[in-house]
Amino acid sequence: MRARLSRGQDGSRTRVFNVPMAAIIESTVVEPLAFTPFPAWPGQEESRGIFVRRTPVLSETATRTVYVHGLGGSSPNWTDLMGLRMPSSPGIALDLPGFGFSAPASRHTLQAHADAVIRLLDDERCGPVDLVGNSMGGAASVLVAAQRPDLVRTLTLLGPALPGQPPRLAHLPILLSGVPGVRDKMREMTLRQTPSQRMQGLLDLIYYDSSCVTPERRAEGIAELQRRDELPYTWTAFSESAQSLGSAVLKRRGAQLWQALQRVPAPVLALFGAHDKLVHVGIAPKVARRIQRGRVVVMPRMGHVPQMEDPVQVADLMAAFEREFVG
């Protein structure tokens, strides 16, 4: 696939790939924009044991945005992006089964997580939503949009865990956590570290620059780790999810995810961090070739969680995408 460079009047550079309906755009924003972080949005356990956080509804006619976190994450991963989008779109962020404050399920597979999202959307009865997923949540969201297109107006993927990843050292703990016998040893080794040490290691893995994390956000993350350590099902939900995700992304089953992405009729916005240690930016052209319509954006100096590292830029990209594709 060949590419050409074009330069806009403002000096921005765009790398356009020869695909029918999608273009890869190199973002020119290199420094996160300053803003005041939002407090955590209130939440409660709703139907079927799923914990949901919501922003205030400022307009009953506005399209809702539903946010799906990644492996090991939870609904507060979306706090700031939800706040920035709140004036135009009320936000709904769920904890997937076995994560955050949600009860565990009988299965913690990629399809089971997609089913949990579908049940939430069915229960909402608010019309098609703007569905947003990060990492594993991105892969689950692809399944949702392909299997229930009536529920999804647009699909936004941030560092989506999709097939075609070159094996990386950072993948090893995730893959090993799904191996019986090994995962218990890994849990023991993990718990030997203090919550503060574990949080720093996690931030270094998912951020391009972990020094941008505020003391408040760091403290919130440490407190969540400590709370989750006390739950009997935390490691089971994580390891089963990791095993299912690894099978979907790194084995032959990966073809099913690509096929699902090709079937998604909704416009797709896919954002990739140029310095993502978990999802290789090299799959961006593969996404561009497979979506029916949409945009793929490569964000410089960005890691695995753009919605946390630079929520302002992500909110702006989503707003521009929605203006172009849904009016």
Higher pLDDT, 149 or 229: 149
Higher pLDDT, 134 or 239: 134
* pTM of this structure: 0.90
Most confident of 30-44, 116-130, 161-175: 116-130
Predicted pLDDT of residue 169: 64
- Give yes or no for residue 208 having a pLDDT over 70: yes
Q: List C-alpha distances in Å: 124 to 13, 46, 107, 140, 144.
A: 41, 11, 23, 18, 15
For residues 208 and 221, what is the distance between their CA atoms, to the nearest angstrom?
A: 17
Token pair of 253 as six digits: 């089953």
Mean pLDDT, residues 160-166 taken together: 85
Instruction: Round the average pLDDT of the chain to a whole number and report it.
Output: 88
pLDDT band at 174 (very low <50, low <70, confident <90, very high): low
In the sheet with 65-68, reading across from the earlier edge strand, the strands are: 22-26, 294-299, 268-273, 152-158, 129-134, 65-68, 91-94, 51-54, 43-45
- Give yes or no for residue 165 having a pLDDT over 50: yes
pLDDT band at 10 (very low <50, low <70, confident <90, very high): very low
Predicted pLDDT of residue 36: 86
pLDDT band at 231 (very low <50, low <70, confident <90, very high): very high
Q: Which CATH superfamily is 3-325 part of?
A: Alpha/Beta hydrolase fold, catalytic domain (3.40.50.1820)
